[in-house]
Chains A and B, each alone.
Chain A
Amino acid sequence: MELFEALGLNVKILLAQLVNFAVLLFVIYKFGYGPIMKVLNDRQNKIEKGIKDANEAKEKLVEIENKEKEVLAEARREAQEIIKKAQAIAEESKAEVVEITKQEAAKIMADTKKKIEQERAQIMSEVKGEISELIITATEKIIGKKMDAQEDKRLVEEIVGGIK
């Protein structure tokens, strides 16, 4: 007990200090620790959520970019296809035109040939007639006498047939 006295230990003072400390503990717990920890936790949650949102937004952005690329590629591919198709169509129509022209040309050629043939045949027959008359005249002159009509014609035909 002497030690307690030397240290100044007094039950009443101890009690007062205990109460004092208890009040301090209560106040810090109630007004300090509780609300501040809550604020800290809230802030941490908020920051975590923000980071999460940012990451999500980034991911979405990448996704959108990929989609954009895909769409562009698709569009390019389609354009290429359309051009190819147009080229093919053009090629085809060109070939058709050429074909038609060729046909036309061939037709004209054939017509012309036919006409020429006809004309030639006509000229030939005309020439034949004239030649035969000429021959008759010439023969009359050479022979000097007029043959009777029947004999004459037979002779001419014989000659002309030999020419043919």
Chain B
Amino acid sequence: MELNISLAPDILFYIGSLPVTNTLIGSFVISVVIIAAMLLVKKRLKKDTPGKFQNLVEFLMSGSYDFVVSIIGSEKKAKKIFPLAFTLFIFILVANLATFIPGQAAVTFNREGESVAIFRAVMADYGMVFVMTMITVILVQIVAIAVHGPFGYMGKFFNFKSPLSFFLGLMDIVGELAKIVSLSFRLFGNIFAGEVLGSVMLFLAPFFVPLPFLFLGLLSAVVQAFVFAVLTVVFVKLASEIEEEELVEEASM
């Protein structure tokens, strides 16, 4: 057995010119599982006597909704951002937890003398994480433009009142770009590192030794899903807030 670690997901086959990677399939499968679960809940939705599964989903949803309200501080805003935040959370959570289904690492096939893993943690594919990060960051920009207006939004970055505020405005641009990196690499790094650590441990000492790392991975699987969704909500909250300075300006106008 050889240890095969690749930063990029492996391409399994091509559909036309679309390279199909193992994580792409994984994300499809996870999406289908979540969609199926949702449809099941929808089909069996009972008003007053929820079943066990409906209870669980309701608990998850109402709990996270209340949490989002407590972060963002307004029911109206929470209603708008909650579907995205909840979808991010549930998608990342299920994708992360799916890697703990045992036996996945063993499923490989040989291609040109190289073993290619069929299953890979979806969040260990930077592409998937990048897509979700871009959704969040672009949404944050849209919210900021909607709240502050296009000129207010641009004025935040290009401020010519004083050299200091001009510099701070430029730093804000860096800050927005840094959001992409910090948000995406936090999730990708954690899950990818977990994957690598798991496979290294499995390679070095297959019995019992990987267990603590598995527990740690379980923890970070939940925590990372939570953090990603919560950061999305926090970013949107920050973008949707009108700062005091602006209020003063508006009042003096």
- The chain A residues found within 8 Å of chain B, CB to CB, are 5-10, 12-14, 16-18, 20-21, 23-25, 27-29, 31-33, 35-37, 39-40, 42-43, 46
Question: If the complex has contacts A35-B45, A39-B45, A40-B61, are A8 and B8 also in contact, measured as CB distance less than 8 A?
Answer: yes
Report yes or no: A28 in contact with B127, Cβ–Cβ below 8 A.
no
Residues of A with C-beta under 8 A to B125: 8
Report yes or no: A8 in contact with B127, Cβ–Cβ below 8 A.
yes
- The chain B residues found within 8 Å of chain A, CB to CB, are 6-9, 17-19, 21, 24, 27-28, 31, 34-35, 38-39, 41-42, 45-48, 50, 54, 57-58, 61-62, 65, 82-84, 86-87, 90-91, 125-128, 130-132, 135
Question: If the complex has contacts A7-B126, A8-B9, are A21 and B131 also in contact, measured as CB distance less than 8 A?
Answer: yes
Report yes or no: A12 in contact with B38, Cβ–Cβ below 8 A.
no
Residues of A with C-beta under 8 A to B18: 12-13, 16
CB < 8 Å neighbour of A7 from B8, B82, B84, B86: B8
Report yes or no: B7 in contact with A24, Cβ–Cβ below 8 A.
no
Report yes or no: A28 in contact with B86, Cβ–Cβ below 8 A.
yes
Report yes or no: A36 in contact with B58, Cβ–Cβ below 8 A.
yes
Report yes or no: A31 in contact with B130, Cβ–Cβ below 8 A.
no
Residues of B with C-beta under 8 A to A29: 83, 87
Residues of A with C-beta under 8 A to B90: 28
With contacts A8-B6, A18-B131 known, what are 20 further pairs, Cβ within 8 A? Answer: A7-B8, A8-B8, A12-B17, A14-B127, A16-B24, A17-B24, A17-B127, A20-B27, A20-B28, A21-B27, A21-B91, A23-B31, A24-B34, A25-B84, A25-B87, A27-B34, A28-B86, A31-B39, A35-B42, A39-B47
A13 to B41, CA, bound (A): 30
Report yes or no: A25 in contact with B38, Cβ–Cβ below 8 A.
no
Top-3 shortest CB links A-B: A8-B8, A32-B38, A7-B126
Report yes or no: B128 in contact with A24, Cβ–Cβ below 8 A.
no
A5 to B35, CA, bound (A): 31
A-B contact pairs, 7 of them (CB 8 A): A7-B8, A12-B18, A27-B35, A35-B45, A36-B42, A37-B65, A43-B48
A13 to B54, CA, bound (A): 34
A123 to B24, CA, bound (A): 157
